Amino acid sequence: MKVVNIIPFGPQHPVLPEPIHLDMQTEGEIVTDVKVVVGYVHRGIEKGLENDYEKNMFLAEKICGICSGVHTSTYSMVIESIMGVEVPQRAELIRAIILELERLHSHLLIIGLVGDAIGYENFFMQTWRDREIVMNLLGTLTGNRVHYGINKVGGVRRDLTDERIALIKKAMAELRPKIDDIADIVYHDYTLKKRGRGVGVLKKSDAIALGIVGPNARASGVNYDIRSTGYGAYKDLHFKPILGEAGDCHERTSVRVKELYQSMDLIEEALSLLKPGEIAARPKGFPKGEAVARHEAPRGELFYYARGVGKKEMYRVKVRTPTYANIPGIPPLVKGMQIADVPYIVVSLDPCISCTER
Amino acid sequence: MGMLKNTLKNLFSKPATILYPVEPIPPLPDFRGQYTMDHSKCIYCHLCEKRCPVGAIKIDKEKKQNEIYLSLCINCGVCVEVCPKDCITLEEVYTPPSYTREVRVFHTEPTEHQLKVQELPHYAEEGKLCITKTELEAMKGELTEHQYRVAVLPCYRRDKNDSKEKKEA
Ligand code: SF4
Ligand code: SF4
């Protein structure tokens, strides 16, 4: 009789500080089947969002600690489209700048964690050190390093003054050579290449069939980036999705590195488009009706649905986060792989579990 | 840059980290820090209380006092925006970690500050009050008005002169 061993991964695992649990059936070192268990950090935020639509902004922000800005932006967008608020162009641009800065620090985080997952601590430390530049910049621009509190229904709460614009430019100039270093390591380093090439390959057809989103889908060559639909300020920015081909762990990291450059270019372009003007429009009345909104979060497509019934309190707000769509990608990638590769594959998909469980 | 060169360079350069808590972390400019207010300007309009997303502020017009539940406050700055008299500011300091769920009371006449500890419930010591909003509300029923205020007051934020006097004493 064949012996089947079940080996657990998570919910507490040194590689991934997020509570996801995999039950892996193994034969020797090879994983034959896997069951994904989530649900350790459910906080009932969707229920909590049945509250005053303005106060909700701060709860929506708490869904995720890394991509908090994109949650508030999407929430604002969905409420604005219900209430028919016209957001001033300057506010849209400021939002786009904050979102791209957020993408920078989120991608730097995961590129570092990929290094950590394969025991490349030096690389991990380097990316996280450089990420501090972006975090501190966000702290000065918005008032806080993590939960920015920059958005409100109708616009943004803080303007970009000339000093702050100078700070962004300075930080970008400081960051670019550091990202060149990181890119050089990711593209050419022997360890990273040897470890990542051909591991956890996600075929293009599978990515489409499973509904994978974000850089994970783009690394498999799926042209799917919500920013190309031109929401908010992105209609004025020159933007082309970055696509990979191989769809393996190394390619996913490379796509993220290329997106770092893209984000820096977008920030510079957005800064050049800034014109003086209003930064917030005043919403009138209470939300009545329903709407959906989508944004490209650092991890992929973020989706909000909201319904108001003409009261201050929302009737329903539904959130679908990128990792929710990416989790079905874990079992097919992990099957047939070595146990030692599992943490690396899971991390390379950039899962954010607290987002997913809301 | 090759990784080896990088390693060597980092070996001889200054550390990028800060030795917290031995070295304090300098607060960022324009940072939204800890709530504080100039109580004398307040007109008791209740706007900040109504708009605070977490319900961390309680305004009492009759007693002329404002309570702030520091452990609830998320430093969002909405109260600063809505206040018509600009009495609230978020100082550029980090709220320090604490063992208690601190309630700060801003009051124009902090006279009852010296009242005796014996009158308080057993778990309340002066200066050390472990209390939640619900506990405080529950206590309100069983305590006299006077005792209730004393229970809140140990957390009274001493104004600058007050703390100076203490140091000198
Ligand atoms: S900063 Fe925000 S959470 Fe804190 S008291 Fe003011 S409104 Fe309430
Ligand atoms: S908004 Fe300002 S003036 Fe009004 S009650 Fe609050 S602190 Fe006082």
**B-interface mutation test, from A57, A129, A144, most B Cβ less than 10 A away:** A144
Count of the separate structural domains present in chain A: 1
Determine whether the interchain pair B53/A58 forms a contact, defined as Cβ–Cβ distance below 8 Å: yes
> Would you place residue B110 in the very low, low, confident or very high pLDDT band (cuts 50, 70, 90)?
very low
CA distance A131 to A107: 9
pLDDT per residue as tens, chain A (358 positions):
567 788 888 787 777 777 888 888 888 788 888 888 888 888 888 888 888 888 888 888 888 888 888 999 999 989 988 888 888 888 888 989 999 999 999 999 988 888 888 888 888 888 888 888 898 888 888 888 888 888 888 888 888 888 888 888 888 898 888 888 888 888 888 888 888 787 888 888 888 888 888 888 888 888 888 888 878 888 888 888 888 888 888 888 888 999 999 898 889 888 888 888 888 888 888 888 888 888 888 888 888 998 888 888 888 888 988 888 888 888 888 888 888 888 888 888 888 888 888 7
What tokens were used for B45?
Answer: 């309009």
In sequence order, what are the residues at sequence separation of 6 or more whose Cβ sits closer than 8 angstroms to the Cβ of residue A223? A241, A243
* Residue B136: per-residue pLDDT: 57
Q: Give the distance from residue B122's alpha carbon to the nearest chain A alpha carbon, in angstroms.
A: 34
Instruction: Answer for the pair A83, A98: CB distance below 8 angstroms, yes or no.
Output: no
* Residue B130: per-residue pLDDT: 40
CA distance A153 to A9: 41
Core vs surface per residue A71-96: b (16+ CB within 10 A) or e: bbbbbbbbbbbbbebebbbbbbbbbb
Instruction: Answer for the pair A154, A80: CB distance below 8 angstroms, yes or no.
Output: yes
Element (H, E) at B124: strand B124-125
Classify B37 as helix, strand or coil: strand
Count of CB pairs separated by less than 8 Å, A with B = 45
CA distance A185 to A171: 21
In sequence order, what are the residues at sequence separation of 6 or more whose Cβ sits closer than 8 angstroms to the Cβ of residue A334? A22, A24, A31, A34, A200, A342, A345, A346
CA of B87, nearest ligand number = 2
CATH number of A58's domain: 1.10.645.10
Q: Domain limits of chain B?
A: 29-118, 120-163
* Residue B164: per-residue pLDDT: 41
CA distance A247 to A327: 16
- Phi then psi dihedrals of residue A224, to 5 deg: -140, 100
In sequence order, what are the residues at sequence separation of 6 or more whose Cβ sits closer than 8 angstroms to the Cβ of residue A168? A97, A101, A137, A141, A160, A267, A271
**A300 bridge partner residues:** A297
Residues of chain A neighbouring B78 (CB-CB closer than 8 A): 58
Task: Assign 3-class secondary structure to B38-85.
Answer: CHHHCCCCCHHHHHCCCCCEEEECCCCEEEEECCCCCCCCHHHHHCCC
List the one residue out of A213, A266, A324, A322 whose CA is nearest residue A99: A266
* Residue B70: per-residue pLDDT: 76
Classify B159 as helix, strand or coil: coil
| B114 has pLDDT over 70 | no
**What is the average pLDDT across B109-117?**
39
Ligand 1 mean position, distance from CA B77 (Å): 6
Give whole-number Cα distances, B119 to A45, A227, B114, B122, B125, in Å: 41, 63, 12, 9, 10
* Residue A196: per-residue pLDDT: 78
The residue in chain A having the minimum alpha-carbon distance to the alpha carbon of residue B52 is A55
Residues of A near B (CB-CB distance < 8 A)?
52, 54-55, 57-59, 122-123, 126, 129, 132, 136, 139-140, 143-145, 147, 149, 157, 181, 184-185, 189
What pTM was estimated for this model as a whole? 0.80
List the one residue out of A326, A320, A309, A311 whose CA is nearest residue A358: A320
Provide the terminal-to-terminal Cα distance of chain B, rounded to the nearest Å.
60
* Residue B120: per-residue pLDDT: 45
Instruction: Answer for the pair A126, B6: CB distance below 8 angstroms, yes or no.
Output: yes
CA distance B33 to B77: 9
Amino acid at position B137, single letter = E
**A16 bridge partner residues:** none
> Would you place residue B148 in the very low, low, confident or very high pLDDT band (cuts 50, 70, 90)?
low
Closest ligand 1 atom number to CA of residue B80: 6
Instruction: Answer for the pair A292, A304: CB distance below 8 angstroms, yes or no.
Output: yes
| B135 has pLDDT over 70 | no
**What is the average pLDDT across B115-133?**
42
CATH architecture of the domain covering B29-118: 2-Layer Sandwich (3.30)
What is the signed CA dihedral for A223, A227, A229, A230, rounded to 10 degrees? -150
The distance between the two most distant Cα atoms of chain B, rounded to a whole number of Å, is: 73
Q: Determine the structural domain holding residue A69 and report its residue range.
A: 4-357
Give this complex's ipTM. Answer: 0.71
What tokens were used for A181?
Answer: 């270093």
> Would you place residue B160 in the very low, low, confident or very high pLDDT band (cuts 50, 70, 90)?
very low
| B34 has pLDDT over 70 | yes
